Chain A
Amino acid sequence: MSNPATDYSLQDPPKIPFEPLIERNSSISEPTWVRWSLIFVAILFLALFLLLPLISVFTEALRNGLGPYFAAIVEPDALSSIKLTLIAAAIAVPLNLALGVSAAWCITKFEFRGKSLLISLIDLPFSVSPVVAGLIYVLIFGRQGYLGPWVMDHDIKILFAVPGIVLATIFVTFPFIARELIPLMQEQGTDSEQAALSLGANGWQTFWHVTLPNIKWGLLYGVLLCNARAMGEFGAVSVVSGHIRGETNTMPLQIEILYNEYSFSAAFAVASLLAGLALVTLGVKSFLEWRYGDELAAGRKH
């Protein structure tokens, strides 16, 4: 925001908060009792369906007290699952970040044929079941797969190993950042980039000093959602991981194994870490919306 050249053209005119007097007009609002019953129904629905499951994760995790809780988390298999989850996210998120920025740059700064098709294709992983996302890599790298024999000959492990888990994670989280950036950058247009270029900046300088400052909050927002999904992905990873304890189990898979062994409180202890991640994600997201709402607003419109 320090660059004055970018400021004048991009901001919407300041929004003046005002409550129109008409708000009190009964012809376009509901009676108080209707109002409060609707609020009651909405909150009850949210509390029952969304809030209660979240609370129950922490309650179940701490059911036997803090000692067993920490014991379940520092258990070697749990620790190795945490490590693998972090590795997978650390590879998948930066790659999808690069793709998201690159794709949004083409789509929003240029006109070309097939653009809406490209947008639909980027969204495609959203409408594919995570299990199918795992299956497609089994069909390629599996024993009877297209590249299976080649992979075996060269002694490369993809399936039932870390590369497969990373691939599946990349597939599932593919659209998150691009989706967040495209509407935002579309709204901002190309005027400031054109101005920077006419003043002699090169392409990289234009992106770094003009475009990036304008999209940074949207970018952070997309990275957050992408990361939450990358660390929490279950279906796709479950298909390609092979469930080797201490080796190819991510946190969600570790939760499944513990749960199926009836070690409920250990399962919920690991789950509480992921639920904590979700809470942090939501917290930062709400903060961004509250603090930088105007800069993110374009992304909310459809």
Chain B
Amino acid sequence: MSTASKPGRRKSPRSAIPGFGINLGFTLTYLSLIVLIPLAGVFIKSAGLGWDGIWHVVSSPRVLAALQLSFGAALIAALINAVFGPLVAWVFVRYQFPGKRFFDAVIDLPFALPTAVAGIALTSLYSPNGWIGQFLEPLGIKVAFTPIGVIIAMTFIGLPFVVRTVQPVLEEAEKELEEAAATLGANRWQTISQVILPTVFPALLTGFALAFARAVGEYGSIIFIAGNLPMVSEIAPLLIIIKLEEFDYAGATAIAATMLTISFVLLLLINSLQAWSRNRGGRK
């Protein structure tokens, strides 16, 4: 890790500080009992189904459509946030304007607002007679009870992940580099795209990955606005619940294992992409 090589932080491997054993023991026990062993249960259970069993569940048209919607809409929502997130972060880091502190607090709203509350609020806004829906209805745009509604809900919950990862990096970015670029004849756009963007790019990727992962698994804020029509606006987590309610534990487990695997692989991929881009950018 980069932190270990930072100067000014000396840590002797044989620390004089007590409490290592008991705290590590407690942490590992708690972690295993609450997280690791129960999660392993999903994979053990799905291993019991075998590849054929899992494939049989996942390849059914309804499950495929749900997985496609969950991952596709999450990708679009994360992309929207990857555009507006840095823009918001930039405005808050570089500019002064009235109400800044207030709006800065508002950015964290999706972290603090329970998903079910967000879900019913978004639905009432975008339903055909809602505050926003009534303007979209004459244009022929239907948001509530369609995949667009799913994307809107996913954008809502993902925004702070992108803003809050990009913002600190922008704050730390050295203005001297921009001055140097300007001195060397770069115009403002060149400076932004070739000096600032590469600096924030690893953070942007991290934020994108976090927003994407959260959106794929999101349930509460989506199910109200989605309308949950099978094959159209039914997300994968909802399908897990439906299977559970039908006591089809095998089906639920197969979908869950598939979602977990795809998410882990994607996160791993993005993590290595991020490490690569950080090295390439010459940062620590």
Contact with A along B132-162 (1 / 0, CB 8 A): 1000000000000000000010011001000
Contact with A along B63-102 (1 / 0, CB 8 A): 0000000000000000000001001101110110101010
Task: Give CA–CA (A98, B23) in the complex, Å.
Answer: 10
Sort chain B's interface into a size bin. Answer: 35 or more
- Among B15, B132, B168, contact of A190 (Cβ-Cβ < 8 Å): B15
B117 to chain A, nearest CB (A): 4
A30 to chain B, nearest CB (A): 6
- Among A20, A116, A139, A274, contact of B41 (Cβ-Cβ < 8 Å): A139
Sort chain A's interface into a size bin. Answer: 35 or more
Contact with B along A132-155 (1 / 0, CB 8 A): 100111111010101000000000
B277 CB contacts on chain A under 8 angstroms: none
- Among B111, B164, B240, contact of A132 (Cβ-Cβ < 8 Å): B240
Task: Give CA–CA (A28, B178) in the complex, Å.
Answer: 6
B19 on the A face (CB < 8 A): yes
Contact with A along B86-125 (1 / 0, CB 8 A): 0110111011010101011111111111111110111011
A140 CB contacts on chain B under 8 angstroms: 38, 41
Chain A interface (Cβ < 8 Å from any Cβ of B): 20, 22, 25, 27-30, 35, 38-39, 41-43, 45-46, 48-54, 56-57, 60, 95, 98-99, 102-103, 105-106, 109-112, 116, 118, 121-122, 124-132, 135-140, 142, 144, 146, 167, 170-171, 174, 186, 189-190, 193-194, 197-198, 202-203, 206-207, 225, 228-229, 231-235, 238-239, 251-253, 255-256, 259, 264, 267-268, 271, 274-275, 277-279, 281-283, 285-286, 290, 300-302
Chain B interface (Cβ < 8 Å from any Cβ of A): 1, 3, 9-11, 13, 15-20, 23-24, 26-27, 30-31, 34-36, 38-39, 41-42, 45, 84, 87-88, 90-92, 94-95, 97, 99, 101, 103-118, 120-122, 124-125, 130-132, 152, 155-156, 159, 164-165, 167-169, 172, 175, 178-179, 182-183, 188, 191, 203, 206, 210, 213-214, 216-220, 224, 237-238, 240-241, 244, 249, 252-253, 256, 259-260, 263-264, 267
8 pairs from A and B in contact (CB 8 Å cutoff)? A49-B156, A53-B122, A132-B237, A146-B41, A231-B114, A271-B121, A278-B114, A290-B101
